[in-house]
């Protein structure tokens, strides 16, 4: 099965950038391999580039699954709804961002398979490195998820809701983070919190709703907005990595304050989060680094 995306979109570039942030969903070359449940059954989905067609991907699954459901999942993960053209029209006038956008043309972020998974990502990444968070998350998945082929299906909320504090601590979580994940899983599993309902809310409404969850402050809420809900104007302004890279490319070369990030990105509404993503990607791939700060 083939899935086409509205250009500009470069699947291979998007995969390379995703892989540059950590060893998640790695596949051979520029492909993705994702284990999830389709119609309740564990399924391995493989997404590969189509030679000569950067805006199209080839999708297969083991076992064979409903094509409409596969298409829905792939379009969700690859953020099919994001139209990059207005973003490029805005940033191409900027002397720093214009060349970066042209070098990274077709780049889109990717997101986890579900908003619940994204929320667990946010908890695990609070105040630690991406590498450390990945290893903690990997232990959670292997302890509570379902193995399928050479992949793991992310744990269902009901499973994590039934986990004991001792079991969660054994995965490398702190007492606080174990409590946050347990409470989150319980609220999702009993219907108290509905992540899908966030999609119909404004950025501010969704942010406020997420911050009602125990352990989810402004950083976590904005992280879920930009990476999970693909809200292109949201970003965690106080994130150390964001502050560093915005200062490197748009500032004096030094790490900015959260207020400084806000000032530098103000001209790029409603794409401040996407600007930050492109600069983070440029930093990771050493693209168009300002020579005077090298």
For the beta carbon of residue 80, count every other beta carbon within 10 angstroms: 18
Assess contact for 47 and 31: CB atoms under 8 A: yes
85: CB partners within 8 A, 6+ apart: 8
Residue 208: inside a domain: yes
pLDDT higher than 90, residue 1: yes
* Tens digit of each residue's pLDDT (9 = 90 or more) over 127-169: 998 889 999 999 999 999 999 999 999 999 999 999 999 999 9
pLDDT of residue 293: 46
Residue 93: inside a domain: yes
Assess contact for 38 and 66: CB atoms under 8 A: yes
Residue 27's pLDDT band (boundaries 50, 70, 90)?
A: very low
Residue 104: inside a domain: yes
* Domain stop point among 220, 252, 267: 220
pLDDT higher than 70, residue 28: no
For residues 199 and 167, membership in a common domain is answered with: yes
For residues 22 and 158, membership in a common domain is answered with: no
Residue 256: inside a domain: yes
Owning domain of residue 291: 84-108+230-294
pLDDT of residue 54: 85
* Tens digit of each residue's pLDDT (9 = 90 or more) over 221-251: 999 999 999 999 999 999 999 999 999 999 8
Residue 225: inside a domain: no
Distance CA 294, CA 271 (A): 26
Work out the average pLDDT over 175-183: 97
Query: Higher model confidence: residue 187 or residue 29?
Result: 187
What is the total residue count of the chain?
294
For residues 73 and 102, membership in a common domain is answered with: no
Reduce the DSSP state of residue 228 to 3 states and report it. helix
Greatest extent of the chain over all pairs of C-alpha atoms, in Å = 55
For residues 206 and 251, membership in a common domain is answered with: no
The span from the first CA to the last CA of the chain, in angstroms, equals: 45
pLDDT of residue 25: 46
| Token pair for 249 | 């490319």
pLDDT higher than 60, residue 204: yes
| Token pair for 120 | 């667990």
Distance CA 125, CA 18 (A): 16
* Tens digit of each residue's pLDDT (9 = 90 or more) over 38-72: 999 999 999 999 998 889 999 999 999 999 999 99
Q: Taking the model in full, what pTM does it have?
A: 0.93
* Tens digit of each residue's pLDDT (9 = 90 or more) over 248-294: 999 888 899 999 999 999 999 999 999 999 999 999 998 866 555 44
For residues 7 and 103, membership in a common domain is answered with: no
Residue 30's pLDDT band (boundaries 50, 70, 90)?
A: confident
pLDDT of residue 146: 96
For residues 163 and 204, membership in a common domain is answered with: yes
Q: CA torsion sign, 222 to 140 to 35 to 134?
A: positive
Residue 75: inside a domain: yes
Count of structural domains within the chain: 3
| Token pair for 123 | 């908890």
* Tens digit of each residue's pLDDT (9 = 90 or more) over 65-110: 999 999 999 999 999 999 999 999 999 999 999 999 999 999 999 9
pLDDT of residue 164: 94
């Amino acid at each position: 099965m083939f899935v086409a995306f509205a250009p500009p979109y470069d699947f291979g570039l998007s995969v390379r950038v995703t892989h540059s942030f950590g060893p998640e969903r790695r596949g051979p070359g520029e492909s993705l391999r994702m284990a999830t449940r389709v119609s309740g059954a564990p399924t391995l989905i493989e997404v590969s580039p189509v030679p000569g067609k950067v805006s199209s991907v080839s999708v297969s699954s083991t076992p064979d699954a409903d094509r409409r459901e596969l298409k829905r999942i792939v379009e969700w993960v690859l953020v099919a709804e994001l139209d990059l053209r207005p973003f490029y029209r805005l940033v191409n006038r900027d002397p720093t961002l214009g060349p970066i956008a042209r070098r990274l043309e077709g780049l889109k972020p990717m997101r986890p398979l579900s908003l619940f998974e994204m929320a667990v990502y946010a908890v695990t990444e609070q105040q630690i490195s991406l590498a450390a968070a990945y290893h903690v998350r990997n232990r959670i998945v292997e302890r509570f998820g379902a193995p399928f082929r050479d992949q793991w299906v992310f744990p269902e909320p009901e499973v994590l809701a039934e986990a004991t504090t001792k079991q969660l601590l054994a995965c490398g979580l702190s007492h606080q983070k174990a409590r946050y994940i347990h409470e989150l899983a319980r609220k999702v599993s009993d219907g108290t919190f509905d992540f899908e309902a966030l999609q119909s809310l404004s950025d501010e409404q969704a942010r406020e709703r997420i911050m009602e969850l125990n352990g989810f402050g402004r950083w976590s809420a904005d992280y879920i907005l930009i990476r999970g809900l693909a809200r292109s104007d949201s970003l965690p302004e106080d994130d150390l990595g964001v502050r560093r890279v915005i200062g490197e490319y748009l500032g004096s070369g030094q790490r900015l304050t959260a207020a400084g990030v806000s000032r530098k990105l103000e001209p790029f509404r409603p794409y401040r989060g996407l600007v930050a993503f492109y600069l983070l990607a440029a930093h990771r791939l050493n693209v168009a680094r300002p020579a005077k700060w090298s």
